[in-house]
A and B are shown apart, each in its own frame.
Chain A
Amino acid sequence: MTAVPVRANEQKPAAKTAEKSAEKTAKIPRIAPNAVEFRLENGLDVVVIPDRRAPVVTHMIWYRVGAADEETGQSGIAHFLEHLMFKGTAKHPNGAFSERISSIGGEENAFTSADYTAYFQRVAKEHLPEMMELEADRMTNLELSDDVVMPERDVVLEERRQRIENDPGSLLSEALSATLYKNHPYGRPVIGWQHEIRALERQTALDFYQSYYTPNNAVLVVAGDVEPEQVRALAEKTYGQIKARPEAVRAARPAEPPMVGPQTLTVRDEKVREPTLQRAFHAPSSSTAEDGMAEALSVLADIVGGGSTSRFYDNLVRGKGLATYAGAYYQSSGVDNTRFVIYGIPKPGVSLGELEDEMERVIADLVEKGVSEEELARAKSSVVADAIFSQDSQQSLARIVGSALISGRSLEDIQMWPERIQSVTAEQVQAAAAAYLNPDRSVTGYLEPLQKKNEQDGKS
């Protein structure tokens, strides 16, 4: 769940300082400009991102299935399956794949979001064929026994305790999502509710696996010191041998009904030392937005609360401002509508309600008067710079491209992100704020200490 949209890169030799301004108006860099895409006959989408600086490759397989595709009552199964995917196949039993990666000094991991599940290895380039063979093998041949499933379920319960239950701030975020989404499954925690994780079983995981793990429901991304044609040949030999199952595609998720009024919730915990507030607004994602709106929302998030020259920072944090921290982010990536979030921690002696009023005032001012050209230029320039910086890391490029493709966007769409950001106007930013930052259609969460609950009355 990152607020960062996409970044990119450029091959142009840079100009001298004197030509700086000319350079800025010149060609806008693209994200992963040299990426190549193709599709195998069985429907597997493949993207290759060559980067020949080091003899290393990043190999990632992304499945178009995540926590938002789970059946009601089985929250956490997408993530649990992710863990179980390391438990082996007939050909490569439990631990053999990891053992092999370790023996060549490789790195591996996997991650799950509401929209996708992905697995990756980073290895010296000569080991790419073997990684593709092993990953293709576990796309269809996973074998699970209760001996390995049950301890792994305990591991996931520990993961939930570590990430969420030990931290009241995470409990607030979880509760906020559950309140923001009443009908759409984005309201469920990706890791699952504890009582539902406890009930997950071997067969539940296998059913989920058989429903979604198939080449026509996946995207392969290979970044690093490789030739696209070499990857194509290897992909055909490995993943290409797996039969497509056209039915193994997720269903559309139920849409969210309109909000009828502002909502609030409070998490109180004896461990809270710094009261915090978070407010979330429904917003379209870059996959669901009409033309230009996702770009405008990205620029808006930067101007409202993206850094130390943002509206929030200038008005709420600097000088006599009421906040120790205040910021905003927009989650651009998502199959369905996502969210725009503002948050703050008040200075000692300031109530959450007072800070909240000030945050509303700053946003109302922006909605009324719009943004300056200077603010607009600053927000845009960082997106263009990030496009170039991102070219430094094959791993982050692979992630940017994979997560966008899995949300239904095209490669070209991602590559052109900086250019589309450049074309955002001040009017569009103002219109985006007016359309989506409406307090009457938001959910606000408060994190408060146990003993001070009465002090926060009348917060809004």
Chain B
Amino acid sequence: MIRFPTIALQAIAGASMSIAVLVAEPAEAVNIKQVTSPGGVNAWLVEDYTVPIVTMNFAFTGGAAQEPAEQSGLANLLSGMLDEGAGDLDSRAFQARLQETNVNLSFDAGRDAFYGDMRTLQVNLDEAFELTRLAITEPRFDDEAVERIKGQVISGLNRGQTDPSEIARKAFAKSLFGDHPYGRFVEGTPETVATLTSADLKRFHGRVLARENLLVAVVGAISEAELSAALDKVFGGLPEKADLRPIKEIMPDAGKTEHVALGVPQTVIRIGGAGLKRDDPDFIAAYIANHILGGGTFSSRLYNEIREKRGLAYSVGTGLIPYDHSGAYVAAAATRSDAAGEAIDIMKAEIERYAAEGPSEEELRKAKAYLTGNYALRFDASRKIARQLIGIRIDRLGIDYIDKRNDLIEAVTLEDVKRAAKRLFGGPISVVTVGSNSS
């Protein structure tokens, strides 16, 4: 039991990884080097020998949004299949090698990118790179493994069909983005996943995992020379070119109300509308604006109004959803069924008032103090540093972003935040609720 829920934006909105990056900080210890292999693979490296481990994060731009609608869930299935046998090693043998060498290797499908995460003890570095190479360049997709992992995904989706938060997440995305790829659930549906085959996996793998859309970040006990050689070994076997389809820009279609009936004592609420993309000039201002209304700390407006004053919810907050081809925001809460109407009214009124008036000078000052002070906390573990670096690369913010980031926050004026608040929260509002019909 913890006092404050950690509201992961991914959990609220299925937002892309780039969100994590928005909050970063001055890190004197983070000295990033660019490493380019003889074969032309580029990586950002932070060398640190304090702990004898190495973390490598990588991403291929082009995620679940690249799936055909009828194959929804394909990227997610691929993320579960890459460590299920590769090269001469079948699933059992591959998993045993990972465990014997204590290599942690996992993959994750976002909407706009496909992620890999490898962590190893320094003593097993060669083996770790070899297993990573096998997983991304020679996955087997054996029938037994495909059926087994599909079964697990479908089981999770079945459970999700009566999970109020998951229902709300799906309904909210559908409501804003309709038939656009962003309107689908990244995990797919039981029906679409059931149809997926190893041929589908091979095709998607061939289209998305390539060198031209690859981004790599490495942190830990490894030198530039070692990494340079490893990059070609691990990624050199990938095709040069990806085959990515253009994704349509989409303006979220907000202003609707939807209720999904489910027999639960607590109603899950998602409110939101159109937002800003990461490359919008007002994005940093919008980020601060969001922090004040419902961001991470225990002093946001919604936290005070919904939780602190009225005890209407345990978790309440807002988040930005900056996709590559759209932007949105979401406000989330959960409250007992008979109070859902009251909570929604308050949330909507707060959003509307904030869009009209913006924050006070004092609120802006506090938000800046928090956001700039908090940035360093994102760099106190190699794993966290790697996550920051890959996020910065995906968002194309530049290798000097960590040094600049707090200045960008400080440079935002009250007028900027008011403008951003209006742009962000001033549009039509969609409301999705999941719960009993009494509310």
Contact = CB atoms under 8 A, between A and B. Distances in A.
Contact of A382 (B99, B370, B383): B99
A342 interface: no
A272 to B, nearest CB: 7
B375 A105 contact: yes
Contact of B95 (A23, A309, A384, A385): A309
A165 interface: yes
Nearest to A276: B159
Contact of B381 (A55, A113, A159, A392): A392
Nearest to B153: A324
A14 B221 contact: yes
A392 B386 CA distance: 12
Contacts of A13: 49, 52
A191 B1 CA distance: 7
A263 B343 CA distance: 43
Nearest to B152: A324
B52 A158 contact: no
A149 B152 CA distance: 44
B309 A274 contact: no
A406 B277 CA distance: 47
Contacts of A20: 123-124
A12 B123 CA distance: 11
A54 B402 CA distance: 14
Nearest to A385: B102
A273 interface: yes
B263 A309 contact: no
Given A14-B221, A103-B370, A54 B376 contact: yes
A53 B3 contact: no
Interface in A151-182: 151-159, 161-163, 165-167, 169
B299 A98 contact: yes
Contacts of A110: 2-4
Interface stretch (A38-46, A288-296, A311-319, A329-337): A311-319
Interface residues of B, number: 80
A54 B379 contact: yes
Contacts of B377: 56, 105-107, 122
A154 B91 CA distance: 49
B138 to A, nearest CB: 19
Interface string B361-391: 0000010011111111101111100000000
A314 B91 CA distance: 11
B237 to A, nearest CB: 21
A151 B148 contact: no
A158 B123 contact: no
Chain B interface mostly helix, strand, loop or mixed? mixed
B258 interface: no
B438 to A, nearest CB: 14
Given A105-B377, A151-B309, A162-B334, A347 B158 contact: no
B313 interface: yes
Interface in B1-56: 1-6, 25, 27-29, 48-53
B318 interface: no
Interface in B255-308: 262-266, 268, 297-299, 307-308
B95 A273 contact: no
A158 B335 contact: yes
A99 B298 CA distance: 8
Say which size band chain A's interface belongs to. Answer: 35 or more
A102 B311 contact: no
B322 interface: no
B312 interface: yes
A273 to B, nearest CB: 4
Interface in A342-392: 345, 347, 377-378, 381-382, 384-385, 388-389, 391-392
B52 A388 contact: yes
Contacts of B265: 161, 165-166
Interface stretch (B160-168, B207-215, B244-252, B346-354): B160-168
B264 A166 contact: yes
B334 A308 contact: no
B198 interface: no
Contacts of A153: 311
A54 B29 CA distance: 7
B92 interface: yes
B376 A158 contact: no
Interface stretch (A79-87, A130-138, A423-431, A436-444): A79-87
A162 B374 contact: no
Nearest to B219: A392
Nearest to A160: B314
A394 B311 contact: no
Interface string A219-237: 0000010000000000000
B270 to A, nearest CB: 14
A378 B1 contact: no
A190 B312 contact: no
A457 interface: no
Contacts of A389: 53, 104, 119, 121
Interface string A100-114: 001111111111110
A17 B311 CA distance: 58
Contacts of A249: none
A214 to B, nearest CB: 21
Nearest to B333: A158
B139 to A, nearest CB: 16
A392 B123 contact: no
A59 to B, nearest CB: 13
Interface in A380-421: 381-382, 384-385, 388-389, 391-395
A113 B2 CA distance: 9
Given A307-B95, A394-B381, A54 B27 contact: yes
Residue among A53, A109, A151, A393 having the largest count of chain B Cβ atoms under 10 Å: A53
A162 B126 contact: no
B310 interface: yes
B162 A271 contact: yes
B297 to A, nearest CB: 5
A105 B409 CA distance: 13
Contacts of A393: 380-381, 383
Nearest to A148: B308
A378 B383 CA distance: 24
A88 to B, nearest CB: 12
B144 interface: yes
B380 A102 contact: no
B155 interface: yes
B123 A159 contact: no
Nearest to A271: B162
A345 B153 CA distance: 13
6 contacts: A14-B122, A102-B370, A104-B369, A158-B311, A319-B144, A389-B104
Given A105-B25, A109-B3, A162-B314, 9 more contacts: A23-B123, A86-B3, A106-B374, A110-B3, A161-B334, A273-B161, A274-B158, A274-B159, A318-B144
Q: Which 8 residue pairs across A and B have the least CB separation, nearest first?
A: A105-B373, A154-B311, A151-B311, A385-B102, A105-B374, A271-B162, A14-B122, A161-B266
